[in-house]
Amino acid sequence: MDARQKMIYLPDIMINWPWPRTINPHYEDVKAEVDASFRDFKALSHESQEAFDKCDFEHLRIGCDLMNLFFLVEECTDSEDEAVTKKMADIVFDALHNPHKIRPEGEYVLGEVTRLFWARAIKFASLPSQRHFLETFGAYLHAVVAEALDREQCRMRSIDDYLKLRRKTIGAEPSFSILEMGMDLPDEVFRHPVIVDLVECITELIIIDNDMVSYNKEQATGNEFHNLISIVISELGLDRGGAMAWVAHYHAEVQKRFIDGLAKVPSWGPSVDALVKEYLDGIANWARASHSWGYESQRYFATKGLEIQQTRLIPLLPKVKHMVA
């Protein structure tokens, strides 16, 4: 194997995305407050807490709390079988639907983290956004359990079947509920076919971006069954470079679908239209934010993320050899 075959090229899939990278002006203050309160739970191992501290994450605070919750759910389930994952999902589900109930003694801290997050959120979130969050986060939890079963059975899905599940496990839709917490966005808007398709477009952009930057780490650790690059390699018989190119082309098609779809958004009157525009701008910016986070958070590329963002090249990691008990 020559040196070129040991490098992975990451296509620059967001170079033409119209929404630039921006940072909330209150980010630093809110992040410090949220990180301090989350650290108090001592929910993570020392190594995981160090990884978390490297990640750059009233509605901004709720959004930060939600990102912490996602991180903890992932930490608790990423390597577990279906039974353990379902137990964790049930704890979260119960805490969301009973935010004022004292959690059972001896329960894993995930329940209390969830309860406090949602008890705070419902003080500030509009009723439509609360309904949408509970619905989409519930779908996310069910999908995480389904992913655990796939992992347990070493099952690799088809491209289409994978994307159906991944649209839920990526956690984008419940995250988008943060954008509407200050809005009374009618259900007829939220469920309109054009809006549904635009949300799906942004969700898929985030999936593709995340699976591209996480592929190297996941193929090395044997977690590639839930990654679009690995699935494209398997289903279409492509090499890594070919799979990256195929996925980049698909990303460009989805971008176009979103931009074209914006012209099809109907009018619900000036006041609602202004909210719809704010919401759609928010989800479009989320795609940019997810892309930037992948290179800046140190989760996938340690301290070399910004360098890799320029060169587009990463060394192929060797497979991790698991010890046999």
Q: What is the pLDDT of residues 117-175, one digit of tens each?
A: 999 999 989 999 999 999 999 999 999 999 999 999 999 999 999 999 999 999 999 99
Domain residue limits, the chain: 25-124, 158-318
What is the DSSP track for 140-184? HHHHHHHHHHHHHTT----HHHHHHHHHHHT-HHHHHGGGGTT--
> What average pLDDT does the structure give for the chain?
88
Q: Average pLDDT, stretch 6-29?
A: 84
More confidently predicted of 107 and 221: 107
Cβ atoms of 220 and 317 closer than 8 Å:
yes
How far is residue 305 CA from its own chain's centroid?
18
What is the phi/psi pair of residue 169, to 5°? -70, -20
Residue 82 has pLDDT above 90, yes or no: yes
Residue 53 has pLDDT above 70, yes or no: no
Residue 116 has pLDDT above 50, yes or no: yes
For residue 47, the model assigns a pLDDT of 55
pLDDT grade for 22, boundaries at 50, 70 and 90: confident
Q: Please tell me the number of Cα atoms within 13 Å of 119 on its side-chain side.
A: 14
Structure-token pair, residue 290: 């997810």
Strands 313-315 and 7-9: antiparallel
Q: Average pLDDT, stretch 200-224?
A: 94
pLDDT grade for 48, boundaries at 50, 70 and 90: very low
pLDDT grade for 33, boundaries at 50, 70 and 90: low
| Lowest pLDDT segment from 57-66, 140-149, 293-302 | 57-66
How far CA 224 is from CA of 155, 227, 251, in Å, comes to 10, 5, 20
Tell whether the torsion through CA atoms of 238, 243, 245 and 250 is positive or negative: positive
For residue 79, the model assigns a pLDDT of 84
Residue 46 has pLDDT above 60, yes or no: no
Query: Cα–Cα distance between 287 and 283 in angstroms, integer?
Result: 7
For residue 299, the model assigns a pLDDT of 86
Cβ atoms of 266 and 206 closer than 8 Å:
no
Residue 54 has pLDDT above 70, yes or no: no
pLDDT grade for 208, boundaries at 50, 70 and 90: very high
Three-state secondary-structure class, residue 313: strand
For residue 321, the model assigns a pLDDT of 66
Query: Cα–Cα distance between 247 and 136 in angstroms, integer?
Result: 26
What is the phi/psi pair of residue 17, to 5°? -70, 125
Q: Average pLDDT, stretch 260-279?
A: 97
Cβ atoms of 246 and 12 closer than 8 Å:
no
More confidently predicted of 200 and 77: 200
Q: Average pLDDT, stretch 195-220?
A: 96
Query: Cα–Cα distance between 86 and 276 in angstroms, integer?
Result: 35
> 93-116 burial, b if ≥16 CB within 10 A, otherwise e?
bbbbeeeeeebeeeeeebbbbbbb
Characterise 302 by phi-psi region: left (phi > 0), alpha (psi -120 to 50), beta (else): left
- 3-state SS record for 180-243: HCCCCCCHHHHCCHHHHHHHHHHHHHHHHHHHHHHHHHHHHHCCHHHCHHHHHHHHHCCCHHHH
Q: Residue 78's closest CA among 151, 160, 12?
A: 151
For residue 75, the model assigns a pLDDT of 87
pLDDT grade for 57, boundaries at 50, 70 and 90: very low
**Percent above pLDDT 90 for the chain:** 74
Residue 217 amino acid letter: K
More confidently predicted of 47 and 228: 228
Exposed (0-12), middle (13-18) or buried (19+): which is 294, by Cβ within 10 Å? buried
For residue 259, the model assigns a pLDDT of 98
Residue with tokens 């809110």: 30
CATH architecture of 158-318: Orthogonal Bundle (1.10)
